[in-house]
Structure 1
């Protein structure tokens, strides 16, 4: 008899717990959600976060607060989210640098991008632009390659192991050239030094050099996209010039690994709806990027492919991150 009573109590408690869990999941979110940007305010990542935060907040019926936690190639903010409670109130707007390259650049990384963070959905893809100083003795891809084979050509990037840095290293291996990386702590100073003639080329996101190319302060050599970029339609791709160099920086939404699957599913649905909005899509395009939604599984597959692609190159080149 006592066994039956205890069994009934246990069953009742179990059902009660399941009901409470279901209710909690069904009412998410009940308070503001924080979106961590692991890069400084004012950059393309931060701008993208602020574009999405407004739309996501409206769709989720809450406030999405953008919080910048920059430093160490995006790993400080990423580490913060990886250690956060998986309660659905902290998310990360990650990029290729902190979600793909970091584990190879920082041997003592305090978190595992693959194990401690859960993919929510892809946000956008952004190709890169190779832009040269205005008096650089090359006006197209072939002339640029010839220059890189004849002598050292310096190229500025937004940091060691950044996507721009890796694109330059990859091209250098493809053409057996003499491209010399000069990493900066951000794309803006690299662009400034290229315009001043201190660097031959800068490899950065389109938005960082669109106006400079259009006004003749820099020369657009090529982009790493599969097709010409609408914001730089006069600049050819490496692909159309016969060079297989397609490289993108990926922007994505991540969550602490222990975040409930149903919360991730709800956030993914809201994210994909936002990305399908014409106004949001247009604002992202103005940054030189292209809105690209996905499922959590599709994002996980992309991350696995990118880690396989870049991990070997980073190790081969002996690249180490800047703290």
Structure 2
């Protein structure tokens, strides 16, 4: 026997359907995040510190959420290729980006036009210390501190390596020239490896960059660190004074480069908060602590609030420093 609904039932159930259709999809059925795999886009090549962090922290996020986390390297244009891809992704917490301060700040000066807006296109999630970048001289340079190095540079032709035009190491050369009234030449390389090779051989007299990349120079005795930036000494080089301690108080040696985790603008606040909290927890794990020790980094990931405050305070300083290099935008 076929049972037909009464007119009253049709009207009642019909009104419920209309009301449901008027609700946003999230109000009808919102799957808890994450309910599917998460993709991390890294703006720099595999094997570097940014990539290492992305994979280690990504594994922790996978363990905590029970969802697979994949890492894809989209290197090029100082991180702009990856940034454009993540900018255009859905802001649902399933596409994230690991990148560095160059992509988030310096590119605004280094490029005439960017395919993304660093200030508007991303949700800030977590800030990570890129570590101290010690200033290292070749073993044949008779200097154990900045004053001795400056005295040597006044009487000799000195070339100092940088791992890229517009980078911290480039800013450092110009800041030292200003402070001591020197005319040292900044020699730009495509990354740290070839720079440190030339510091080791004596082709250039000095350079600054990451502790891990420079470890072969230091361990072989072909170079020595004579200064570290920020106002705190480095745990791996406790006997090396800071630029500030040695009287070089230029702001260039007080600001910090960084690695960071961001997502597309418009990500739900609760997802940003969950990821930010997971990053803090991950930083306490044994695996991350070992990575920090290997790279000579003294501080693990910081939360969203720290990141936002850092960008507000140090972002404009970095912009001024890079503008001061008078580079022609690409």
Q: Output the TM-score relative to the length of structure 1.
A: 0.89
In the alignment, which residue of structure 2 is the partner of 1:113? 118
In the alignment, which residue of structure 1 is the partner of 2:8? none
In the alignment, which residue of structure 2 is the partner of 1:99? 104
Match 1:188 to one of 183, 186, 193: 193
Aligned partners of 2:20 and 2:68: how far apart in 1?
36
Pair 1:147-2:126 in alignment: no
Aligned partners of 2:328 and 2:91: how far apart in 1?
30
Match 1:56 to one of 58, 61, 64: 61
In the alignment, which residue of structure 1 is the partner of 2:254? 246
Does the CA contact (< 8 Å) of 2:38 and 2:67 recur in 1? yes
Pair 1:131-2:154 in alignment: no
In the alignment, which residue of structure 2 is the partner of 1:159? 164
Aligned partners of 2:190 and 2:204: how far apart in 1?
15
Cα-to-partner distance string for 1:81-135 (whole Å, 9 max, x where unaligned): 1222212111111211111111111111111111111101112341111111111
Pair 1:226-2:231 in alignment: yes
Does the CA contact (< 8 Å) of 1:127 and 1:247 recur in 2? no
Measure how far apart 1:156 and its partner are.
1.0
SS at 1:282 equivalent: helix
Aligned partners of 1:228 and 1:210: how far apart in 2?
17
Match 1:302 to one of 305, 310, 320: 310
Structure 1: runs of 5+ lacking an equivalent: none
Pair 1:89-2:97 in alignment: no
Measure how far apart 1:197 and its partner are.
1.6
- Name whichever structure is richer in helix by fraction: 1
In the alignment, which residue of structure 2 is the partner of 1:35? 40
- Name whichever structure is richer in strand by fraction: 1
Structure 2: runs of 5+ lacking an equivalent: 1-12
SS at 1:219 equivalent: strand
In the alignment, which residue of structure 2 is the partner of 1:281? 289
Against the structure 1 CA distance between its residues 252 and 182, is the aligned structure 2 distance closer, same or farther, given a 3 Å change threshold? same
Number of paired residues?
A: 316
Aligned partners of 1:138 and 1:321: how far apart in 2?
35
Does the CA contact (< 8 Å) of 1:72 and 1:321 recur in 2? no
SS at 1:111 equivalent: coil
* 1:191-210 equivalence runs, <5 A: 191-210=196-215
How much is the aligned-residue C-alpha RMSD, in angstroms?
2.4
Does the CA contact (< 8 Å) of 2:44 and 2:99 recur in 1? no
* Stretch deviating more after TM superposition (182-191 or 210-219): 210-219
Flag the structure with larger Rg.
Answer: 2
SS at 1:58 equivalent: helix
Does the CA contact (< 8 Å) of 2:56 and 2:287 recur in 1? no
* Stretch deviating more after TM superposition (181-190 or 213-222): 213-222
Q: Output the TM-score relative to the length of structure 2.
A: 0.87
Does the CA contact (< 8 Å) of 1:38 and 1:94 recur in 2? yes
Pair 1:268-2:276 in alignment: yes
Cα-to-partner distance string for 1:205-258 (whole Å, 9 max, x where unaligned): 111112321320112121114332222234322222222233422111111112
Aligned partners of 1:60 and 1:171: how far apart in 2?
47
In the alignment, which residue of structure 1 is the partner of 2:267? 259
Does the CA contact (< 8 Å) of 2:173 and 2:186 recur in 1? yes
Against the structure 1 CA distance between its residues 10 and 226, is the aligned structure 2 distance closer, same or farther, given a 3 Å change threshold? farther
